[in-house]
Amino acid sequence: MIALLLRDLRLAVRAGGGFGLGLVFFLIVTVLVPFGVGPEGALLAQIAPGILWVAALLACLLSLDRIFALDYEDGTIDLLATSPLPLEGVAAMKGLAHWLTTGLPLTLVAPGLAVLLNMPAGAYSWLLLTLLIGTPALSFIGTFGAALTVGVKRGGLLLSLLVLPLYMPTLLFGAEALRRGAEGADNTVPLLMLAGITLGTIGLLPFVAAQVLRINLR
């Protein structure tokens, strides 16, 4: 499993589909928003939680089609399906590799980019926490979506249409927890809901993705 994880990490860095592209997109969004809405600091601070979470969601979405596509094209996924490794473990490692190359870097750079949106100083810890809790759910939901569309030519648009509705609860609770934290209000409920969604996706979706892969590879 560790060897598979390290292989996926190397492929993601070499292909540039996860690490580089996601960070660049996240940077572009946070830089362009102040130009679009104006330099009003109070307005930027008010919309910053939603903007940062939407940018993180879309940045994760950009690289989802690469989770299984490269392995499908070169036949690696067929070898993995017939190997002693369970497909559930393969799907879990794919989701973890996507998070390590996309979700985690976005989480780490988000506080630096939040300065451009005039986010209050007390909100940076909540930004890190909500992204750290919520982005794994984006990766594992994306892994399930990628398994559904594996083998589909130009399935990127279909993948986006399938995954975006599933992303909505994570986006809503993540942005709400960050907004309440920035305002100094109690955000326990949205944080717990966000954590529950993440734990549920990590615990269940690798098994669902593995079953979908078995069906698609028949």
Q: What is the pLDDT of residues 88-107, one digit of tens each?
A: 988 999 999 899 989 999 99
pLDDT, one tens digit per residue, over 13-33 is 775 445 678 888 899 988 898
Amino acid found at 189: V
Rg of the chain in Å (alpha carbons)? 18
- Counting residues of the chain whose pLDDT is more than 70, the rounded percentage is 97
Q: Cα–Cα distance between 74 and 34 in angstroms, integer?
A: 43
Give pLDDT tens digits for 82-93. Answer: 777 888 988 999
Give me the helices (H) in the chain, please. 2-15, 19-37, 41-62, 66-73, 76-82, 87-98, 104-114, 124-148, 156-183, 188-216
Coil vs helix vs strand at 65: coil
CA distances from 217 to 8, 132, 214 (A): 20, 33, 5
Q: What is the pLDDT of residue 152?
A: 75
Residues 28-76: tens digit of each pLDDT = 988 898 888 887 878 888 899 999 999 999 998 888 888 887 777 777 7
What pLDDT score does 83 carry? 77
Confidence (pLDDT) at 179? 93
Q: What is residue 131's predicted lDDT score, i.e. its pLDDT?
A: 96
Report which DSSP code applies to 38: -
All structural domains of the chain with their residue ranges: 2-216
Query: Which residue's structure tokens are 């997109």?
Result: 25
> What average pLDDT does range 145-166 have in this prediction?
84
CA-based nearest residue to 178, from 217, 128, 103: 128
**Alpha-carbon gap, residue 157 to 151, rounded angstroms:** 14
pLDDT reported for residue 65:
80
